[in-house]
Amino acid sequence: MQRRSLFVATTLVAGLSMALCSAQAQDFPPKKPVTMVVGFAAGGSADIAARVIAKKLGENIGQSVVVDNKPGAGGNLAHAQVAKGPADGSVLLFGSIGPLSISPHFMKVGYDPLKDLAPITMGVTFPNVLVVPADTGIKTLAEFVAKAKREPGKLDFASTGPGSAAHLAGELLNDIARIDTLHVPYKGGAPALQDVLGNRVTAFYAAPPTALPHIESGKLIPLATTGLTRPAYLPNVPTVAETYPGFNATNWYAFVASAKTPTPLLERWNAELVKVLNNPEVRDNLLKHGQTAAPTSREELGKFIATEYGKWGRIIRERKLSAD
């Protein structure tokens, strides 16, 4: 009798758990408004991509998806908030390389990107582009490096925050080219860009969406891109790796949510976001802004983030880099 009662109880609990998961999976989209959190200021690369994706996502699920900009600490504040926030599927985070794989090696961020945030799908990938104002007289990467060597500590570069891809790209160039340029962090690409255009900062490892219009107008001079290959939208701009082999600081944004979010909801969001990212109109729109849609499975993204986390952690330790 005791064994039978235990079996019945165990079966009942399992059945209730399955029913609960099924109900949660069916409760899609969430009844409350859907929020897509971006850890940077409006007008920057993350914000641009998020709004393109959010618009089509809202159309597909028949519900408004609101982009919520929460800049601060290179995106870390937004990541910490989402990690500790609602886990009912109503909050998506358009996470970035810095907070997910770099910043935790520099500072206390209030979350563990590998434990507190659940992967959904990769969003977009792109290299940064090192730009300077047209009136600096600098036209090439070689000239930038030469000037930095002549005037150590006097040239500075903007980034979207401590531990961001732009910050690390600048630190890597400092190390590999043996130069000393000063890091100036901002709360996003838009304010950083304004100070570069205003000649208040010498250079910026900018995301293509924010830099391309000003490159085309001639206000900014592109010196080099930070990926391993030249992007199609800047075919005449060399990569840093062409001068310094092995240099690679590719940027990416990925969708994650609180790790407490039920798996069925994460799977539904993966399916919906992959559908959006594979939409030809969305892909073309993103490419116009210098970003490549790169949808993945949840498992693929999880492995990718873990690999990036290990890679950048090793480089930061070996090169003794700091967020200052």
| 1-28: pLDDT as tens digits | 555 554 444 444 444 454 444 444 557 8
158, 166 contact by CB (below 8 A):
yes
Looking at the structure, give the CATH architecture of the domain made up of residues 30-126+251-319.
3-Layer(aba) Sandwich (3.40)
Residues 60-74: b if buried by 16+ CB within 10 A, e if exposed: ebeeebebbbbbbbb
Query: Rounded to whole angstroms, how far apart are CA atoms 42 and 212?
Result: 17
Q: Average pLDDT in the 189-207 region?
A: 94
Looking at the structure, give the CATH architecture of the domain made up of residues 129-242.
3-Layer(aba) Sandwich (3.40)
Query: Rounded to whole angstroms, how far apart are CA atoms 117 and 124?
Result: 18
Q: Average pLDDT in the 99-112 region?
A: 93
Q: What is the pLDDT of residue 204?
A: 97
Q: What is the pLDDT of residue 98?
A: 92
Mean pLDDT for all residues in the chain: 90
Domain with CATH 3.40.190.10 in the chain: 129-242
Residue with the bigger pLDDT between 320 and 178: it is: 178
Q: What is the pLDDT of residue 20?
A: 46
Query: Rounded to whole angstroms, how far apart are CA atoms 183 and 169?
Result: 11
Per-residue 3-state assignment (H helix, E strand, C coil) for 177-198: HCCCCEEEECCCHHHHHHHHHC
200, 259 contact by CB (below 8 A):
no
Query: In this structure, what token pair is assigned to residue 186?
Result: 């901002």
Domain with CATH 3.40.190.150 in the chain: 30-126+251-319
Query: Rounded to whole angstroms, how far apart are CA atoms 13 and 133?
Result: 65
Q: Would the pTM count as exceeding 0.85? A: no
Q: Is the pLDDT of residue 319 over 50?
A: yes
Q: Average pLDDT in the 285-304 region?
A: 95
Residue with the bigger pLDDT between 114 and 189: it is: 114
